[in-house]
Structure 1
Amino acid sequence: MKHESPGNEVTIREVGKRAGVSPATVGRVIGGYGKVSEPTRQRVLEAIRQLDYHPNTIAQSMKGKQRKSVGMIVSDICNPFFGMIARAVDDTLIKYGYNLVICNTDDGIDKEASYLKTLTEKRVDGVLACTACEVERKIPRPVRKFYLETPTVFIDREAEGIDVPVIQADNFGGAYEAVVHLIQLGHERIAIVAGGSMVSSIHQRLQGYMKALQDFGLQFRDDLVKLGRLLGVESGAYAARELLNMPAAERPTAIVGLNNLMTTGVLLAIREAGMTIPDDISVIGWDDFDLAQVLSPPLTVVTQPTYSIGSIAAEHLIALLERQRSYRQANDRKIILKTELVIRESCTSPKAPK
């Protein structure tokens, strides 16, 4: 039977008495600050459950104890993909009373480490991260330590040796389907334009590209894979110019951009070269956007359920923060959502050589 204090309001002192600890220790458990051993923390949480204790949120806020904040690591908030992710995350968190702090890393691991230090100082409750950790690159110790010790959900990307939930699209399958589409149209020289960092999502897309070539007996060529210096439009244009300046017999007949900013750069470079799509070269983009349908010609794209990725990731983090024990027993540590190839008019069979 629930113990009730006068006025039917359970006090922090009564929680401490039930758990066999001081009110100050109860406060540390509720506020998430200071050092409390795990057995003690569990006793306090059990006492809170038994007594149905609800903290005075107004008093907590006045004392500076309430956090209710989540940090979010993104590589480039100007990228519409990350903008939509952030919107979905914020829409979800606000329903649970959490605030969102966004940190923009430009895919720099040192900048990410600096932001994680800031988020530690702000004592955020948890983190949603599109990490800049690269495949087969050493992860800085402070970054690894933070993600292993802080409630974290990775979005779009993962990092080797950091076992946290991951919500992402089928990067491998999306790239595979796009390249197969081009191969079936008759293309053999298919180029890839991607960002400069070999994060897991880009690595998975490249693996899908190479697997499609292999399955159809086409040779992989290093010179047809261009990693832009950064993730922006100009970086994509620079990479595409290198491809378009190749001798005609070696030049790709199709290009797949592996994110929407890089794809925009590809379109810019093609226009600068005086070439037309799809007569001179076919193009497939990654991520749909409003103008893709009204471009001339409309752009074929690999679309991913961006809003769903963000909202599902936020729901997972809330579950991790508020129902830790049951959540860690779940089997959905990695969720991969389906992509879709939206076929429009930017791809056709390559011209016969003159």
Structure 2
Amino acid sequence: MPAIKDVARRAGVSVATVSRVLNDHPSVRTDTRERVLAAVADLGYRPNAVARSLRTDQTRTLGLVISDVLNPFFTELARSVEDAARELDYSVIIGNADERPDLQDHHVRTLMDRRIDGLLVSPTDGGSPMMLAAARAGTPMVFVDRWIEGEGLDRVPVIRTDGRAAIRALVAHLCALGHRRVAIIAGPAATTTGRERVDAFRSALAEFGLELHEDHIGQGDFQADSGRRVTARFLDLPHPPDAIFAADNLMALGAMDEIRARGLRVPDGVALAAFDDIPWFVHTDPPITAIAQPTGALGHAAVRALIDLVEGRPAESVTLFARLVTRRSCGEPEGSKP
């Protein structure tokens, strides 16, 4: 494998000049730069990223800690983050917290030890000693989808989706279809998204003259098993709901499993809708009505904000908007289109 001294010899310059060319230093003359780059191409030389990071104090590597890599929303988010980072010549190291705060902090610590340039996090819950320590140490950091509130973290930019208008549209849609007893499978109350979706749902129901009864609120954990467990409790009520809104896609799939296990059918036995649309919702029977987040745009905006911080520019929080996609799981007429 060729070394930097081989490039210098081929180009007829010093090793220091080659280094300045590779680091895009403006002091190098155009003809010298072209000669060095030609030598790099001829020899197939690749700079040592570790050595370069020691000289420049940058690794051109970002860390991404996501809540659950098995959740299709976070899988798509991670893909969009990688795509956006690659376009800007950055790499991404991903850590999966599996909705566990201890594992989340383990990944944050590990990524910091690897000298990443900046950190993207979708937090698992409201507390994280390692993230607080990273923020206080001045590590460039951006929250995506979820965020943590509190002193020391209030200046971290948040790239998020506002789902309130889409949830209101869903409630209006359910009311128009004749549903009156409506329940929600909520996400963890410790997460910002878990709290926001319940609050938005409750407010929208009140606007349409409906009340969200306490026995129609089920606490889930953004996992399929909790969706099934909560749905079982709903269906055992003396007056079960006629529509269920699952606050994420995995809980919706768990709900559908329990509904089918009871010998019921969606939407005849009970209607079902979900937050976080996923590609295979169009292939279920019936296709599931869902609230879709602009996941690709979310990942790209998060990367742009983080790189702004890494490269010394200010970064602002960004709010995008979700939209309702109607299909046939709430009793929509046959042949209705999104």
- Give me the TM-score of the superposition, normalised by structure 2: 0.79
- Deviations, residues 91-116 of structure 1 (Å, cap 9, x unaligned): 11112222211111122222222221
Q: Which residue of 1 aligns with 2:173?
A: 181
What is the match of residue 319 of structure 2? 336
The answer to whether 1:346 aligns with 2:329 is yes
- State the Cα distance separating 1:13 from its structure 2 match: 12
**Residues 13 and 177 from structure 1, CA distance in 2 versus in 1: closer, same or farther, beyond 3 angstroms?**
closer
Which residue does the alignment assign to 2:140?
Answer: 151
Task: State the Cα deviation string for residues 125-147 of structure 1 (Å, max 9, x = none).
Answer: 1111101233xxxx344322213
Quote the residue 1:221 is aligned against: 213
Partner of 1:242: 233
The residue type equivalent to 1:265 in the other structure is G
Does the CA-based 8 Å contact 1:70-1:128 persist in structure 2?
A: yes
Deviations 1:203-233 (A, max 9, x none): 11111101112212222312111112x3322
Aligned pairs, how many?
Answer: 298
Deviation at 1:299, TM superposition (A): 1.3
1:199 and 2:191 equivalent? yes
- Aligned equivalents of 2:185 and 2:67: distance in 1? 18
Match for residue 128 of structure 1?
Answer: 120
Aligned to 2:222: 231
Displacement of 1:50: 7.6
Where does structure 2 lack aligned partners over 5 or more consecutive residues?
1-11, 34-39, 41-45, 333-338
Q: Does 1:70 align with 2:58?
A: no
Code of the aligned partner of 2:183:
A
What are the residue-to-residue correspondences of 1:201-350 with 2, within 5 Å? Answer: 201-228=193-220, 230-247=221-238, 250-322=239-311, 324-325=312-313, 327-328=314-315, 333-348=316-331
* Preserved contact between residue 237 and residue 265 of structure 1 (Cα < 8 Å): yes
Q: Aligned-pair RMSD on alpha carbons?
A: 2.9
Q: One-letter code of the match for 2:59? A: R
Q: Secondary structure at the match of 1:158?
A: coil
* Closer/same/farther in 2, CA of residues 63 and 98 from structure 1, 3 Å limit: closer
Distance 1:164 1:88 in 2: 21
Please give the residue correspondences for 1:82-97 in structure 2 after superposition, counting only pairs within 5 Å.
82-97=74-89
The structural deviation recorded for 1:347 is 1.1
Q: Distance in 2 between matches of 1:210 and 1:273?
A: 28
Structure 1 letter corresponding to 2:93 = V
The reply on whether 1:142 has 2:127 as its aligned counterpart is no
Distance in 2, matches of 1:214 and 1:316, equals 37
- Please give the secondary structure, in 1, of the residue aligned with 2:47: helix
4+ long deviations beyond 4 Å:
6-14, 48-54
What amino acid sits opposite 2:259 in the alignment?
Answer: I
TM normalised by structure 1 equals 0.76
Give distance in 1, aligned partners of 2:181 and 2:190. Answer: 22
CA distance in 1, matches of 2:121, 2:110: 14
In 2, distance between residues paired with 1:59 and 1:319?
A: 25
Q: Distance in 2 between matches of 1:10 and 1:62?
A: 14
1:120 is displaced (CA, Å) by: 1.5
